[in-house]
Every structure is written in structure tokens, then in C-alpha cells.
């Protein structure tokens, strides 16, 4: 059973465009929602994270939008650049414990110059 | 300085062999993990250790045996390798209670022939 559902599986965006990746969850006990970025041949790296008491968090060109009532959250990449081409994973956890931490299935983003 | 380092980066071996992957972190974290990433990029947790104590042991064949000599090291030994074990294995670490903030190594790509 997939605890965190992520879409789309792959995404192609023109340089300068907005990339949007969506995730949904069911367990309302989740209290931390990070996004990880993984470049080919590298390990995933924490990109940005949000807690459910806020609806939006922005760091540079990356923004998480969080809709608690819909149990959905999304990553927006503004002014997408070819260097943003990577696989993005959403995730959710409860209480910071490793045995209640779940990754989404990943989205492969390609930004075309 | 590399925060989470794994060796070897690549491993090619024959079915039935035994192999080990080593991991070390210099972040002062007390929790370490092994993740498996398959060809579809899906990340699956295998094990987690907190201060040398096993706290997560997902449904993994008992051919896989983790060992943590101290809280900065977590090694993975695999016996009787099978074709299906081919994957990228990632070591990660975090502070206790902050499992959502994972620091990953660069991965060890295992190919079983």
C-alpha cells in the first residue's frame, strides 16, 4: 500500500516554465512533508520541507503548497532551468521516526533548453 | 569532507557470491539507514540502526545482514547474491527523531550477473 502517491511519473518542461509535482496522502497523522532531489548517479538530497500548520513554504525558486483538507501537497519550481533536471521525491513522516517515513514513487523532471 | 560515504561505488559480481558494502558518516548523527533503489527509482527502506541498535528491519531476505560497529558506521553484507539483488543501495543518516531529514550517500550500484 503506497502511503504517499506522487504524480506525474515524468514531466518535461521548457526552460523558464513552471514545473509542478503533486503528492497525496491519507494518514492525517503525518506531520512532516519533505521533498528530495536526486541527480543521476547521486543520492537524494533534502530540497525543501513543510509542516502541516502552514499552507506554503518558499525557498528561492522552489515552493511547497500544502492543502491539509485535501490531504495534498505539491512542489512548484518557478523559472525552471536545465540544471533542475532530476528525479524528485515527495515524502511524509510521523513524529520523526524512521519506521513511519514514506517516500513517493518519484517524478523524473526534464527541463528543455 | 564527504558527509555520508559508501564503498564501493560499483560492484559487479556473480550469482551466489557474498559481498559487503560499507558506510560511514561524519555528521554526528545517531541513526543510520540502508535503502534500496530499484530500476524504477523506487526507494525502499531496508534497515535502520539507532546508536548501534536495530530499530527497523523491513521484509528483507535474511541473506541481507546489517552490522553497526559504532554509530558512525553501518555496513551491509549480502550472502548468496541473486539476480534480483541488482539495484543501487543507499546509506543514509539522520538525527534521532528527525527521520524526515535524511542525508544520503552517493550509492553503491550492485550488478549481479
pLDDT digits (tens, 9 = 90+) for A6-41: 999 999 999 999 999 999 999 999 999 999 999 999
- The pLDDT value given to residue A37: 98
CB contact under 8 A, A106 and B41: yes
CB contact under 8 A, B107 and A43: yes
Average pLDDT for B12-28: 97
Q: Chain A contacts of B56, Cβ < 8 Å?
A: 98-99
Average pLDDT for B28-50: 92
Q: What are phi and psi of B54, to 5 degrees?
A: -70, 125
**A29 touching chain B per CB within 8 A:** no
Average pLDDT for B1-20: 94
**Cis before B7? omega within 30:** no
**A2 touching chain B per CB within 8 A:** no
Closest residue in B to A86 (Cα–Cα)? B41
Q: How far apart are CA A95 and CA A78, in angstroms?
A: 30
Q: What are phi and psi of B5, to 5 degrees?
A: -120, 140
Residue found under cell 554509530: B71
pLDDT at residue A98 above 80? no
pLDDT at residue B84 above 90? yes
Q: A50: pLDDT confidence band, cut at 50, 70 and 90?
A: very high
Q: How far apart are CA A16 and CA A32, in angstroms?
A: 29
CB contact under 8 A, A93 and B100: yes
Other C-beta atoms lying within 10 Å of the C-beta of residue B50: 21
- The pLDDT value given to residue B98: 80
CB contact under 8 A, A43 and B4: yes
Instruction: Write the CB contacts of A75 (distance below 8 Å, at least 6 apart in sequence).
Output: A19, A20, A21, A23, A35, A47, A48, A62, A63, A64, A88, A90
Beta bridge partners of B31: B50, B94
Tell me how close the Cα of B18 comes to any Cα of chain A, in angstroms: 24
| Residue B28 and residue B34 in contact, taking contact as beta carbons nearer than 8 Å | no
Closest residue in B to A87 (Cα–Cα)? B41
Amino acid at each position: 500500500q503506497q502511503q504517499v502517491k506522487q504524480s506525474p511519473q515524468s514531466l518535461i518542461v521548457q526552460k523558464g516554465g513552471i514545473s509542478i509535482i503533486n503528492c497525496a496522502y491519507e494518514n492525517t497523522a503525518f506531520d512532516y512533508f519533505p521533498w528530495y532531489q536526486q541527480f543521476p548517479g547521486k543520492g537524494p538530497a533534502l530540497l525543501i520541507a513543510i509542516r502541516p500548520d502552514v499552507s506554503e513554504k518558499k525557498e528561492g525558486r522552489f515552493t511547497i503548497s500544502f492543502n491539509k483538507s485535501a490531504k495534498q501537497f505539491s512542489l512548484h519550481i518557478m523559472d525552471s532551468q536545465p540544471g533542475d533536471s532530476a528525479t524528485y521525491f515527495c515524502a511524509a513522516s510521523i513524529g520523526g521516526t524512521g519506521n513511519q517515513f514514506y517516500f513517493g514513487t518519484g517524478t523524473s523532471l526534464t527541463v528543455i533548453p | 569532507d564527504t558527509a555520508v560515504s559508501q564503498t564501493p561505488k560499483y560492484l559487479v559480481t556473480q550469482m551466489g557470491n557474498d559481498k559487503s558494502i560499507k558506510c560511514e558518516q561524519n555528521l554526528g548523527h545517531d541513526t543510520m539507514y540502508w535503502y534500496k533503489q530499484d530500476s524504477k527509482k523506487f526507494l525502499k527502506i531496508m534497515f535502520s540502526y539507532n546508536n548501534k541498535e536495530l530499530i527497523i528491519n523491513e521484509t528483507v531476505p535474511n541473506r541481507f545482514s546489517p552490522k553497526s560497529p559504532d554509530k558512525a558506521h553501518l555496513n551491509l553484507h549480502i550472502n548468496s547474491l541473486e539476480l534480483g539483488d541488482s539495484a543501487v543501495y543507499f546509506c543514509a543518516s539522520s538525527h534521532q527523531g528527525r527521520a524526515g531529514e535524511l542525508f544520503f550517500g552517493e550509492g553503491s550500484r550492485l550488478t549481479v550477473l
